[in-house]
Amino acid sequence: MEPVVSNLSWLSWIVFGALAGWIASILTGSNSRMGCFSNIIVGIVGAFLGGWIYSLITGHTLFVSWNLTAFIVAVLGAVVCLAAEELSPDLHDVLEEHSTSQLDLSSPRSRSQQTSQRVRDLQ
């Protein structure tokens, strides 16, 4: 049995994840440090985690589409993800650095060089 089945396109998953992640970040009080990309990732991961938990509790597969049940499950899963992130200091620091930093596009260095430098700085 698959825990999550979806008929959403990749663009719908991005919008669905962004909304679920944004609501979850508001509920957990982490909205001020979360960017759009972080909200999308947390929302999508939250949908799968929530779907897995949903299937364990109910014994039914969660069908993810534009419906209230799937959205609530995704938000709750994203809340669990954010709570786990708060409990893990290393992950918390990496996500906070990623969401608060801006790449300097005016620099002659490429984005990959800037990202590589940030990774070295974190180590």
Claim to verify: residue 71 and residue 117 sit in the same structural domain = no
- pLDDT tens across 90-102, in order? 655 655 555 544 4
Please give the backbone phi and psi of residue 108, each rounded to the nearest 5 degrees, phi first: -70, -15
Q: Are residues 80 and 115 in the same domain?
A: no
Q: pLDDT digit string (tens) for 49-60?
A: 988 888 889 888
Report residues of the chain scoring pLDDT below 50. 100-103, 108
Looking at the fold, whether 41 and 95 belong to one and the same domain comes out as no
How many whole angstroms separate alpha carbon 20 and alpha carbon 74?
6
pLDDT of 111 reads: 52
Same domain, 35 and 66: yes
Q: Exposed, middle or buried: residue 74 (CB in 10 Å: 0-12, 13-18, 19+)?
A: buried
Domain region containing 34: 1-87
Give how many domains the chain has, as a whole number.
Answer: 2
Q: How far apart are CA 77 and CA 34, in angstroms?
A: 16
50 and 64 housed in the same domain: yes
pLDDT given for residue 103 in this prediction = 46
**Is residue 83 domain-shared with residue 106, that is, in the same domain?**
no
- Name residues whose C-beta falls within 8 Å of residue 53's C-beta, 6 or more positions apart in sequence: 73, 76, 77, 80
